[in-house]
């Protein structure tokens, strides 16, 4: 039996979120999963993705919180002088405090799509309570392998040229305000930060959609980007080729949910009521 | 005047419905029930609904935003969303708003299918007046349009690197699974003439504007907005609807009426 409860919470009572609180399965509380906003979409997520993810995880026994960061969705500004990164860190800390008080969790997995993945990365760098993160279309960088896979097939395929030209024309005629546009920091910096997270014992899962083929187009690319870091057992990456960035089709969302649930089960099992 | 932040709440049978109550500054002199549209229209208009509710509260008008069963944060899977249940949920939300605000006279607001649901619920919810933003009044046409847009979405080169199969895209409208009941109910629905005063806020281009008086009754008031809402543009499917003039127009209307 799981229940959802709506909260206004936070250091300035400025945040709005919905906690999923399954019945405790054992003596030790499982990790709590905190879902961050994807772009400007409020906490339910694109096409209600975050509702589906959190309810699926609640059914597996994980407490969850989907909430709106300061000024997004139904949350207000905290009226404080902080950088955006500091504000995100403080908001997520508030979210952890809430889920800790409601479900007894002391460790957390962050989950975010696009800008949500970037925010999850930023928080995971030095928030001690983060035990893991799931990055949906998180950081990756174009490599030589990417360029070969991207450009070579186009040279001899009329259909791909047509599609490429069609996409280019549509992109040019559009308003040029990609709602999920993000800017990545340098690769060396991200690689260093990921290594530090892994050294602290975090478990990290990267899921790339077929909607980001402009920068990621093969499962092997994760290793091309991040080198030996990709071989560490605490990190995993996969590509859902053929999907779009926000999982508009139910069959794609189902595959994504299955993958997320399986990764959590493998890395933070609930059996016996304890996590590693 | 200082307005308290909106308070999240859960109401209806077993607390199954999620809502946000915007208490009015200085006590409510009127109250507005904000009926959301369905599907992606709801996600896209979320910001405008919040802005509208905040602006109303600032003017001393309480407001309740809520999600129908099977939508937003309310309980139920997306494919369990049902037209009759949506109407019943609007009635339950009206009762919740009356209880919280102390106002007996409620005004209903709704965009697109939210406007249609407000029309359907007006009698049972005892709504005294309706403010409808680009309401959809012909269910059959709505089904046909959503089917056509879903077909375009599955082959959209800006979304998918290769067209997806019809099987993958079946039973959904623009990102949301659709139950057979909702499809059938909507397909057979057409708005009757309104039984309460109605004001339509029309943000469609002049050449696409409907004859609202023919559909809703000769007494229907129509206000043309200067901005055009891109509801049915596939390229804008994940962009928020921005409508500052809608918020202004509704607040101005209620400031005079309340």
Instruction: Give this complex's ipTM.
Output: 0.96
**pLDDT on residue B258:** 61
pLDDT tens, A105-128? Answer: 999 999 999 999 999 999 999 999
* Cβ-proximal residues to A61 (8 Å cutoff; 6+ apart), any chain: A22, A25, A30, A270
**pLDDT on residue A2:** 60
* H-run or E-run covering A11: none
pLDDT confidence band for A274 (50 / 70 / 90): very low
- Name the average pLDDT for chain A: 91
pLDDT tens, A128-187? Answer: 999 999 999 999 999 988 888 888 877 777 777 777 777 777 666 654 455 556 679 999
pLDDT tens, A202-213? Answer: 999 999 999 999
User: Encoding tokens for residue B40?
Assistant: 């992606």
pLDDT tens, A232-258? Answer: 999 999 999 999 999 999 999 999 999
**pLDDT on residue A161:** 74
pLDDT tens, A15-39? Answer: 999 999 998 877 778 999 999 999 9
**pLDDT on residue A148:** 87
Contact A6, B9 (CB under 8 A): yes
Could you tell me the pTM of the whole model?
Answer: 0.94
* Cβ of residue B7 closer than 8 Å to a chain A Cβ: yes
Smallest CA–CA distance, residue A273 to chain B, in Å, is 27
A chain contacts of residue B153, beta-carbon cutoff 8 Å: 248
Which 110-149 residues of chain B touch chain A by CB within 8 A? none
**pLDDT on residue A268:** 97
Contact A274, A28 (CB under 8 A): yes
Smallest CA–CA distance, residue B81 to chain A, in Å, is 13
pLDDT confidence band for A79 (50 / 70 / 90): confident
**pLDDT on residue A52:** 98
pLDDT tens, A188-200? Answer: 999 999 999 999 9
What percent helix, strand, coil does chain B show, rounded to 5? 45, 20, 35
Report the percent of chain A where pLDDT is more than 70: 92
User: Is the CB of B20 less than 8 angstroms away from the CB of A16?
Assistant: yes
Strands lying side by side in the sheet with B61-66? B7-11, B17-22, B61-66, B30-35, B106-111, B127-133, B198-202, B221-224
CA A173 to chain centre: 30
Which 177-206 residues of chain B touch chain A by CB within 8 A? 177
- Among A51, A175, A218, the strongest candidate for a mutation testing the B interface, having the largest count of B CBs within 10 A, is A51
Burial status of residue A1 (CB atoms within 10 A of its CB: 0-12, 13-18, 19 or more): exposed
**pLDDT on residue A163:** 72
The partner residue sitting opposite A7, judged by closest CB among B8, B50, B153, is B8
> What angle do helix axes B180-187 and B139-154 make, rounded to 10 degrees?
130
**pLDDT on residue B53:** 97
User: Is the CB of A40 less than 8 angstroms away from the CB of B7?
Assistant: no
At residue A15, φ and ψ (nearest 5 deg) are -105, 145
Is A230 a residue whose pLDDT tops 50?
Answer: yes
A chain contacts of residue B159, beta-carbon cutoff 8 Å: 211, 244-245, 248
- Residue reference for tokens 């794609």: A252
Contact B73, B46 (CB under 8 A): no
**pLDDT on residue B257:** 66
* Cβ of residue A112 closer than 8 Å to a chain B Cβ: no
**pLDDT on residue A154:** 75
Is A82 a residue whose pLDDT tops 50?
Answer: yes
Averaged over successive runs of 10 residues, the pLDDT of chain B (258 residues) comes to 88 96 90 98 98 95 98 98 97 98 96 98 97 97 98 96 97 97 96 95 88 94 93 95 94 82
Name the DSSP letter for residue B162. Answer: S
Chains A, B: CB contacts under 8 A, how many? 99
A chain contacts of residue B161, beta-carbon cutoff 8 Å: 163, 210, 213, 241-242
Smallest CA–CA distance, residue B6 to chain A, in Å, is 8
Report the chain B residue with the minimal C-alpha distance to residue A74: B50
């Amino acid at each position: 039996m799981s229940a959802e409860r709506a909260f206004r919470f936070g250091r300035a009572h400025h945040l709005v979120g919905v906690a999923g609180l399954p019945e405790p399965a054992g003596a030790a509380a499982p990790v709590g999963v905190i879902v961050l906003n994807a772009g400007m979409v409020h906490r339910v997520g694109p096409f209600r993705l975050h509702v589906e993810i959190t309810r699926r995880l609640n059914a597996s026994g994980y407490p969850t919180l989907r909430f709106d960061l300061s000024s997004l969705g139904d949350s207000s500004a905290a009226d404080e002088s902080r950088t955006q990164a500091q504000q995100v860190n403080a908001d997520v800390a508030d979210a952890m405090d809430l889920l800790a008080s409601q479900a007894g969790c002391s460790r957390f997995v962050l989950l975010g799509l696009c800008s949500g993945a970037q925010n999850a990365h930023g928080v995971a760098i030095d928030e001690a309570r983060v035990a893991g993160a799931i990055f949906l279309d998180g950081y990756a960088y174009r490599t030589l392998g990417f360029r070969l896979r991207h450009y070579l097939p186009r040279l001899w395929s009329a259909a791909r040229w047509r599609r490429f030209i069609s996409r280019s024309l549509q992109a040019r005629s559009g308003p040029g305000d990609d709602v999920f546009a993000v800017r990545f920091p340098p690769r060396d910096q991200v690689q260093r930060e990921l290594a530090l997270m892994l050294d602290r014992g975090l478990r990290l899962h990267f899921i790339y959609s077929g909607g980001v083929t402009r920068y990621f187009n093969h499962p092997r690319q994760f290793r091309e980007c991040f080198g030996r870091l990709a071989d560490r057992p605490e990190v995993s990456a996969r590509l859902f080729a053929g999907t779009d960035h926000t999982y508009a089709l139910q069959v794609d969302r189902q595959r994504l949910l299955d993958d997320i649930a399986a990764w959590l089960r493998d890395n933070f099992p609930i059996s016996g009521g304890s996590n590693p | 005047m200082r307005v308290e932040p909106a308070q999240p709440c859960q109401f209806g049978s077993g607390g199954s419905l999620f809502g946000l109550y915007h208490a009015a500054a200085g006590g409510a002199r009127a109250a507005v029930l904000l009926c959301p549209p369905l599907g992606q229209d709801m996600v896209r208009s979320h910001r405008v609904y919040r802005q509208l509710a905040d602006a109303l509260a600032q003017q001393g008008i309480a407001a309740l935003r809520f999600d129908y069963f099977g939508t937003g944060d309310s309980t139920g899977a997306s494919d369990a969303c049902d037209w009759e249940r949506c109407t019943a949920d609007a009635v339950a939300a009206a009762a919740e708003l009356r209880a919280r605000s102390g106002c007996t006279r409620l005004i209903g607001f709704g965009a697109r299918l939210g406007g249609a649901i407000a029309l359907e619920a007006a009698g049972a919810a005892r709504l005294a007046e309706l403010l409808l933003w680009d309401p959809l009044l012909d269910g059959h046409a709505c089904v046909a349009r959503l089917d056509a847009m879903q077909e375009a979405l599955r082959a959209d080169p800006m979304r998918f690197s290769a067209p997806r199969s019809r099987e993958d895209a079946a039973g959904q409208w623009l990102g949301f699974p659709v139950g057979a009941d909702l499809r059938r109910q909507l397909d057979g629905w057409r708005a009757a003439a309104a039984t309460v005063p109605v004001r339509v806020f029309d943000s469609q281009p002049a050449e696409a504007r409907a004859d609202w008086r023919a559909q809703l009754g000769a007494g229907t008031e129509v206000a043309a907005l200067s901005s055009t809402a891109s509801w049915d543009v596939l390229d804008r499917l994940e962009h928020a609807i921005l409508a500052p003039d809608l918020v202004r127009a509704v607040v101005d209307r209620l400031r005079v009426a309340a």
